[in-house]
């Protein structure tokens, strides 16, 4: 199809042209005496994106899923107890990874569309008077439902229970797009991948570990080899990697971190909020609801939109893809067919999103939903021009 493909799945996201150019280079000797400049610069500039000066960032070949494994295998031993909150498909998979690795997992299950409940975490930890639970696992931004949880409140619940559990946070669809305050929230392992807010192809697992998490690497007995933080930390100190690093992605990451610094992280976060507000106004104008139930939890990186019962969201997605070259995210797990998702993170601006919103409107209409064409686009335009969304009517 001529023209640009419209990629609006919540990851992978659009790779900026300058990042593509930065990755387009020949290979080089990763053991050269100048290589440490690249490694040290990347690790230094990654830290503020995680919101840490005390934690230690790492770059592994892998993806977000690999990041879960890095956090778990480097800190825990077979049979260790962990407490995992499930409020969507990715928290379900994070939990499953812990089970697969041989951990003893207790879960707190909340309806998909709700956020992580700090009070229930506090209650579960208070009930664990022997302090057997070693870690709490939560997802900051549940990409399946478009729900952002309050990680600071989770930390308060853990501390309020006087419990020493480590806090592991999946920030795959938040870190690099939404404020993430690893130090302030007392996060012990923060996990992300390269293909969402970092605007790169998939291929990197980016994690940051607290001093406490690093200290547990010595006692942890879960098997690990390529994901072992100990050789990685030792080699990184010297500016190297324990294996051949994915050089193109490292150069892409270098460019992304430069872009983050140029825009400024606070400005980048504000842009995501502004863009998300316009998308939400459009959804409202379509007469549709978000899967996320509480307005303060609505995600600024992804909106999961519930379709009326007589419409199959898969039809909307398929029409958008085939007819309008617009890629939307599908409903995952129990949400299959019930929601479609618009990713609004990364290299985006208002006009790109207006194109996507126009495409969604046409696809909804083609799929049989009676939507006044232009209503969502106009609502978003009003928000982005600085007028209240209420003026839509
Ligand atoms: N966690 C969340 C919140 C995600 O959105 C995803 C992927 O979309 C993952 C984990 C899995 O990451 P990856 O596909 O990079 O392994």
Q: What percent of the chain lies above the pLDDT cut of 90?
A: 98
- For the CA of 144, the closest atom of ligand 1 is 5
Token representation of residue 372: 């006044």
Predicted TM-score (pTM) of this structure: 0.97
Confidence of residue 21 (pLDDT cuts 50, 70, 90): very high
Q: 97-133 burial by CB neighbour count: b if 16+ within 10 A, else e?
A: bbeebbbebebbebebbbbbbbeebbebbeebeeeeb
User: What is the per-residue pLDDT across 261-278, written as a single tens digit (0 to 9) for each?
Assistant: 999 999 999 999 999 999
Sign of the dihedral through C-alpha 76, 79, 80, 86: positive
Residues with CB under 6 A from ligand 1: 11, 63-65, 90, 139, 143, 170, 172-173, 193, 202
| Range 206-214 average pLDDT | 99
pLDDT of 393 over the 50 cut: no
CA of 167 to the centre of ligand 1 (A): 18
Atom of ligand 1 lying closest to residue 202 CA: 15
> 387 or 146: whose pLDDT is higher?
146
Q: Tell me how far apart the alpha carbons of residues 178 and 271 are, in angstroms, rounded to a whole number.
A: 10
pLDDT for 203: 98
Contact, 178 vs 148, CB < 8 A?
A: yes
Q: CA-to-CA distance for 325 and 316, rounded, in angstroms?
A: 12
- pLDDT band at residue 388, thresholds of 50, 70 and 90? low
Residue 250, pLDDT score: 98
pLDDT class of 390 with cuts at 50, 70, 90: very low
| 342: three-class secondary structure by DSSP | strand
* pLDDT at position 12 over 70: yes
What is the per-residue pLDDT for 387? 64
In 3D space, the residue among 165, 169, 185 whose CA is nearest the CA of residue 82 turns out to be 165
Q: Choose one of 65, 195, 204, 304 to mutate for the ligand 1 pocket test, by most ligand atoms within 8 angstroms of C-beta.
A: 65
Beta partners for residue 105, in sequence order: 82
**Paired tokens of 5:** 């493909």
d(CA 86, CA 105): 12
- The pLDDT assigned to 1 comes to 84
Mean pLDDT, the chain, rounded, equals: 97
* pLDDT in the model for residue 389: 45
* Of 169, 196, 166, 164, nearest in space to 180 by CA: 169
Q: How much is the average pLDDT of 321-345?
A: 97
**Angstrom distance (rounded) from CA 137 to CA 104:** 13
Cα 193 to ligand 1 centroid, rounded to whole Å: 7
Give me the phi and psi of 13, to 5 degrees please: -110, 175
Site to probe by mutation for ligand 1, drawn from 10, 11, 66, 190 as the one with most ligand atoms within 8 Å of Cβ, is: 11
**CA pair distance 138, 169, nearest whole angstrom:** 5
User: What residues have CB less than 8 Å from 390, skipping those under 6 apart?
Assistant: none
Question: What does the pLDDT average to over 168-173?
Answer: 99
Top mutation candidate among 172, 196, 249, 333 for ligand 1, by most atoms within 8 Å of CB: 172
pLDDT range class, residue 257, cuts 50, 70, 90: very high
Instruction: From 183, 89, 194, 187, select the one nearest 143 (Cα to Cα).
Output: 89
Per-residue pLDDT tens over the stretch 340-387: 999 999 999 999 999 999 999 999 999 999 999 999 999 999 999 986
């Amino acid at each position: 199809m001529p023209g640009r493909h419209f990629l609006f799945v919540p990851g992978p996201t659009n790779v900026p042209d300058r990042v593509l150019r930065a990755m387009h280079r020949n290979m080089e000797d990763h053991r050269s005496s100048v290589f440490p400049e690249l490694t040290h610069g990347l690790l230094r500039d990654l830290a503020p994106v995680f919101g840490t000066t005390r934690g230690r960032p790492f770059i592994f070949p892998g993806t977000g899923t690999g990041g879960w494994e890095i956090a778990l295998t480097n800190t825990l031993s077979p049979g260790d107890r962990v407490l995992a909150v499930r409020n969507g498909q990715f928290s379900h998979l994070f939990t499953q990874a812990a089970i697969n690795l041989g951990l003893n997992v207790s879960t707190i299950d909340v309806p998909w569309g709700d956020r992580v409940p700090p009070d229930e975490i506090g209650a579960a930890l208070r009930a664990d008077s022997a302090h057997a639970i070693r870690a709490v696992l939560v997802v900051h931004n549940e990409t399946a439902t478009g729900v952002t949880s309050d990680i600071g409140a989770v930390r308060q619940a853990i501390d309020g229970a006087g419990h020493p559990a480590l806090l592991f946070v999946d920030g795959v669809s938040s870190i690099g797009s939404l404020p993430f305050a690893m130090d302030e929230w007392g996060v012990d392992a923060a996990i992300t991948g390269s293909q969402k807010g970092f605007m790169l192809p998939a291929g990197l697992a980016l994690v940051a570990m607290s001093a406490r998490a690093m200290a547990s690497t010595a006692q942890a007995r879960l098997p690990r080899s390529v994901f072992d933080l100990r050789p990685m930390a030792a080699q990184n100190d010297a500016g190297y990697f324990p294996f051949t690093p994915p050089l193109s992605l490292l150069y892409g990451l270098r460019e992304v971190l430069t872009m983050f610094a140029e825009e400024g992280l606070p400005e980048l976060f504000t842009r995501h909020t502004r863009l998300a507000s316009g998308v939400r106004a459009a959804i409202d104008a379509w007469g549709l609801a978000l899967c996320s139930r509480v307005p303060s939890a609505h995600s600024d990186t992804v909106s999961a939109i519930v379709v009326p019962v007589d419409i199959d969201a898969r039809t909307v997605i398929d029409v958008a893809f085939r007819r309008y070259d617009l890629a939307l995210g599908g409903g995952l797990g129990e949400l299959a067919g019930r929601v479609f998702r618009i990713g609004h993170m990364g290299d985006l601006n208002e006009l790109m999103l207006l194109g996507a919103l126009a495409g969604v409107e046409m696809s909804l209409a083609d799929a049989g939903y009676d939507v006044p064409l232009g209503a969502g686009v106009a609502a978003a335009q009003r928000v982005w021009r600085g007028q209240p969304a209420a003026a839509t009517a």
